[in-house]
Chain A
Amino acid sequence: MNSPTVLLDPTAELHASQRQILPRLSSLAGATVGLLDISKPRGKEFLDEVEKQLSEAGATVKRYMKPTFTRIAPTELNQKISVECDAVIEGLAD
């Protein structure tokens, strides 16, 4: 009975023990940054302020919106953002 206990992994096994993050932008100047509004109330006010600050830092800002906050963004929208932007900020609310 000294054999090691074996358990089966209950997770989706999506992750190795360490996950690499994408390289960060070294500068905002000249970069295109997407702002994704998740369609919660007052997301616009918050993202307007973020846009203002990003613009002052020299970034070009593009705005996007999810159809509803309750569901994940449609693949087409994700692809559009990935094609058009160097980075994205998802605007959570509440």
Chain B
Amino acid sequence: MDHVIQVRNLVKSYGKVMALRGISITVNRGEIYVFLGRNGAGKTTTIRILMGITEPTSGEVLVFGAPIHANPIAIRERVGYVAQEQHFYGWMKGEELARFVSAFYPTWDHNEWQRLVKRLEIPTNQRVDTLSAGTKAKLALALALAHNPPLLILDEPTAGLDPVARREFLEILRESSSNRTTFFSTHLVDEVESIAHRVGIIDQGQSRFEGTVDTLVKRYRYLSIPSFSPLQEPSQEMINLLERHAIHLLHTQHHPGLLRLLLQSPSPNAFDALLADPAFTSTFQGEATIQNLSLEESFVALVRYSSASSSPE
């Protein structure tokens, strides 16, 4: 497999503060890689290191197979970048900004820029500081794509956008991601579920998961037990049964008329095996049901309830 980004044991500390505690990431050519993490998890620090803006404390960072700090400028020429907040020169008009940015990219394609401007409906004769946050984000995307970069890095570009603008942005991103590797950092999980090929999850400066959305989602299940059951807490018999199938009970939720158990297993087949086990019907009185989790629920399950020692796949 051809890796566009390879990060191994990346550590970054600011004095006594450890921003990254040894994360590892692998992004394959042509895929949309969604980098998930809570606020302050270390996503932006990771991206600044990937862009060669910040020096890592230790670890290995390869972009296009080359160490990023060997020649960050050459690598940056091949990367399109969209930041969370757009710190453009407010006094410039869109067209002036494009002229300024074009000088920095040997592969700048003016026709592509014009196509993007038209497609994204960006008013380029208006001063940048008069544009809305959504339009600024679209402008940033157009600037990032106009030099046809093989790698697009997006650092929470939709964080400040309204739902309509966010949806529009993602739509354009999906369109433009063919023949391009996209590294998309966000904490808004639900919005990327449909576009992500693979997901990397970071929490408190540590990698917690890397794999496909399906793999992540299949690691977790809800076990719902109806309310007429006399159960208030799962019995030891139940826990023993789950552990026999290598299923861990992460959390217990009490709902009116319902007891819901959050379960985790490294093997997706474990849940099928549990359902097929005759002891399941007797232990759970045949009323219990198992449900899949959404990506967002899986993300929350991972970063909130999974033990810190759980390692990426």
Binding between chains A and B: no
Binding site for B on A (CB under 8 A): none
Binding site for A on B (CB under 8 A): none
